[in-house]
Structure 1
Amino acid sequence: MWTTFLVVLKMNLRSRSALFWLIVFPLVLATMFNGVLGQIDQGYDIKPMSMAVVEDANWHRAVGADAFVESLAGKKSSSDATTGSHEGTATGLNQRLIDITTVASTTEARHRLADDGVQGYLNADGDGRLRMTLSSDTADSAGDSASSDVNATVTIAALHGAIELYNRTDAITRETIEEHPNAAASARFWRSVGDAADLTKETALTNFRPDAIARYYYALLGMACLMAMSYAVAAVTFAQANLSALGIRRTVAPLGRARQLLAGFLASWLCSGTSLLIALAYIRYGCGVLLGGREPAAVLAVAVASFMSCAFGTMIGAIPKLSHGAKIGLTSAIPCVLSLFSGLYGSFAMELSDWIARHEPVLAFINPAQQVTNLFYDILYYDSYRPFAATCARLLVMSVAFLAVGVILLRRQRYEHL
């Protein structure tokens, strides 16, 4: 049995096509993902916009406007504010939203806007409320997903929220002072106004910060896992007397068929697991797709996924009256088709995968590629390991079913002559 294990292992390592499709191809595709999609997540970052500040008479009457804008520009933290009614109502973040250019009038700000000197301007009206005006190009880029300025929407939304917070705080403060004049002399009142920004806090809903392109890499691992079926298919095929000369010799060998198949299965499991670990290591360390500090769980996921892949390959390899080439073709066609429904082929495939998961969960449940992909979702995004364990259990159930079918098919095969 040990000799058979080594023979199958050497056979797998000498297969150039298997080495290409199971090691080289995932690395090349991951490199393409990293080059083409590697900057997508930066589209969700906040980058400062060039803004003119109209410091006219209305602006000087707006109490706390200077401190507010300085906070937006990163020149002054909201926690450093000690005077004024709105100095603590900036963003509550250590994030620079704007680059300031000071102008004396709205007319001058519009001239700078027309000359593309700034992307917008801030001014105050007669009631002390702040207003933001954007150039037409900036507004268009914020609404165009294909625009090169992919950060405009995020930054404008952050600015809009900060300005709305300032204006609401201004209105509430003025109304409170009008109804309760003594509040203006209370330090506790001004501290409560300054703490308004702390009413909104960042909360982590997942175990790790979501990566916009991580799902493409997970879908790639699902496809690579299923393509690793070719190892088990070859191990089973070369043990069948009607498909190869090696199968004839193995049939008349003293070692029983069960031990031969077990040795071939273990060698295939080792090869497929190693190829997936190489792809996972490259994705993690070469492409920088983090796993939230759960690398040991990812290794376990690879072991479970490769076991399922070998069980699937055993079932395909046991199909009677089908040539070795046809079976190898299935190991390429099946992963390509199933990966469509796990989201590998771009945004449309991702939307299709999400739709299936929401409306037809049974189809996602029986899709091995989707379940392998879910293994890494569960590791990265859930605080508990329970979803990960449930997905592992589903893959093991699939493995048992595949092996049962494969054993039944192999036991029914008989040869009239060798």
Structure 2
Amino acid sequence: MAAVFAYQVLRLGRDKVLLVWTLGLPIVLALMFMAMFSGLGRAYETTPMSFGVVRDEAYRSAPGLDALVERVSGADADPRLIAEVDHSTASEAEAAAKRGDTVGYLAVENGGPVLHVTREGDDEPSLRVLRVVMDSYVQTRAQREAVIAAGAAPEQVAGLQAAHGFTRPVAVTRTPVEPATRYYFALLAFAGGMGATVAVLAVQGVMAASPLGARRTMAGLPRWKVLTAALAASWVCVLACLLIAFAFIALVVGVDFGPHAPLCLVAIGLTGLMSSAAGAALGTIRRMRIEMVIAITTLLSLFTGLYGPGAQSLADAVERGAPLLTRANPLWQCAHCFYGLLYYDSLAPFARSCAVLTGMAGLFLAIALIRARRMSHEHL
């Protein structure tokens, strides 16, 4: 039995199906994802725009406005919204904007700040933030004047600016989660699904479904030992490929799997076991081909959100409309194992997904064993 296991590992390790579909394709897709998502963070960053500030008497008389402008234009500002260009009059600032030296200017009119923006500046992402900042200034100033008119204490007036705000940060998960993380979880599930092709090769090589398998069924070694060795060899090969893909995603791509990252090895082991068992069941089908297994895996991966925002929206819609159908998808359970380690405060969702994967693996193995007993040499 050990000799059969060692032979199967060597045979499967040299097969192009393992090298291309189970090992090579997930790494190539991880590289593509890394290239596609490398600019996501920079896309949400604000870049300072050249913006004029009219520093006339009205500007200097506006309380706190100069300090606010310094906070959004200084070298240490976070975020730095504007690269300030000083002007003494509004006509000078308007002329600079028409020449294209700036995309607009700030002037104090009727006691309040007013933004004058060119057509080019209206498309600047930083302008949206600057408008919110100015609206906040006007609102806070009005509140301050109302509080002073009501005769409030100086401490209350001083704390008004600090208390004002539209939002507050809330930590939803223990570690920050990037939007692209979901794609890598779906990719690991896809790699596990492709591992079923290895088990199909292993089982078809020792069953009477092929001429070579028919000769092997005539050997003196009990068939259950041959089948067990073949399944164990396929699981080892699939597990090795998944571990390589996981290490590549974690170390090279830099995906953070959260504080429970060591438990990802459990999820990977169960993913490999389930895919090997599923491949064993599919391998007992006489006309099953590798292309058919790849097509099934590709279809099931659609409902894990692997193929982009559209696929993610479809997967979410199916999960809301038919939750039982979604949970019957083995690849969804594989991806959800990783979700349970990162998106939840408790390990209960992870444990449930692991239990479901274990049950699926047992079901697939039972189907494979039942069908293997019917595929003896005399039935050919």
| Fold match (TM-score > 0.5) | yes
Cα deviation, 1:217-260, whole Å, max 9, x if unaligned, reads: 22222211101111211121111124132x23432333322222
Out of 95, 99, 110, the residue aligned to residue 126 of structure 1 is 110
- Correspondence list, 1:1-400, <5 A: 1-74=1-74, 94-127=78-111, 129-140=112-123, 152=125, 155-180=126-151, 183=153, 186=154, 188-197=155-164, 200-245=167-212, 247-319=213-285, 321-322=286-287, 326-400=288-362
Residues of 1 paired with 2:373 and 2:325: CA distance? 30
Residues of 2 paired with 1:396 and 1:333: CA distance? 24
Q: Which moved more, 1:161-170 or 1:199-208?
A: 199-208
Residues of 1 paired with 2:311 and 2:142: CA distance? 48
Residues of 2 paired with 1:293 and 1:116: CA distance? 51
Identity of paired residues, percent?
Answer: 34
SS at match of 1:416: helix
Deviation at 1:157, TM superposition (A): 4.2
Deviation at 1:198, TM superposition (A): 6.6
Correspondence for 1:86: none
Code of the residue aligned with 2:216 in structure 1: it is R
SS at match of 1:102: strand
SS at match of 1:136: coil
Residues of 1 paired with 2:193 and 2:277: CA distance? 10
Cα deviation, 1:311-330, whole Å, max 9, x if unaligned, reads: 111110122x32xxx43122
Cα deviation, 1:365-391, whole Å, max 9, x if unaligned, reads: 122222222222332322322222222
Code of the residue aligned with 1:259 in structure 2: it is K
SS at match of 1:331: helix
Gaps of 5+ in 1: 78-93, 143-151
Code of the residue aligned with 2:174 in structure 1: it is N
Code of the residue aligned with 2:329 in structure 1: it is N
Q: Assess, with a 3 A threshold, how the Cα gap between structure 1 residues 108 and 364 changes in structure 2: closer, same or farther.
A: farther
Deviation at 1:332, TM superposition (A): 1.0
Q: Assess, with a 3 A threshold, how the Cα gap between structure 1 residues 405 and 370 changes in structure 2: closer, same or farther.
A: same
C-alpha RMSD of matched pairs (Å): 2.4
Code of the residue aligned with 1:404 in structure 2: it is A
Residues of 2 paired with 1:202 and 1:225: CA distance? 37
Q: Assess, with a 3 A threshold, how the Cα gap between structure 1 residues 206 and 64 changes in structure 2: closer, same or farther.
A: same
Cα deviation, 1:267-305, whole Å, max 9, x if unaligned, reads: 111111110111111112212222234331222221111
TM-score (norm 1): 0.83
Q: Assess, with a 3 A threshold, how the Cα gap between structure 1 residues 363 and 173 changes in structure 2: closer, same or farther.
A: same
TM-score (norm 2): 0.91
Gaps of 5+ in 2: none
